[in-house]
């Protein structure tokens, strides 16, 4: 099945409402989208821009980062069950 862009989907939704006279719920059900998205399409023909992902800066100092990276490199050769989890890395950092 061919992938449909959001602009094309908005166009289909607007056509269904304005030309065919379908309701918001019917359009949402047919296209498998949320009613909120149908309302957005009816409000504006252009989809809103995506929000950029927000990332918190790392709290690890460069020295600690080297240590953690070394642990994880050593884990590559260790058996799967003996590798560090995020929780175990945290616990080990607290101990040291």
Over 70: is that where the pLDDT of 1 sits? no
pLDDT at position 63? 87
In this structure, what token pair is assigned to residue 89? 């890395």
What pLDDT, on the 0 to 100 scale, is given for residue 61? 86
Non-local CB neighbours of 56 within 8 Å, separated by 6+ positions: none
Residues 6+ apart with CB under 8 A from 38: 13, 17, 24, 27, 28, 31
Tens of pLDDT, residues 25-82: 999 999 999 999 999 999 999 999 989 999 888 888 888 899 999 999 999 999 989 9
CA distance 75 to 54: 29
pTM over 0.75: no
């Amino acid at each position: 099945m061919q992938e449909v862009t959001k602009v094309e989907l908005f166009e289909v939704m607007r056509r269904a409402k304005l030309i065919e006279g379908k309701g918001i719920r019917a359009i949402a059900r047919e296209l498998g989208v949320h009613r909120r998205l149908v309302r957005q399409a009816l409000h504006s023909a252009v989809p809103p821009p995506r929000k950029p992902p927000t990332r918190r800066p790392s709290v690890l100092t460069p020295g600690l980062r080297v240590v953690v990276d070394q642990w994880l490199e050593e884990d590559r050769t260790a058996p799967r069950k003996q590798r560090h989890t995020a929780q175990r890395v945290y616990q080990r950092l607290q101990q040291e």
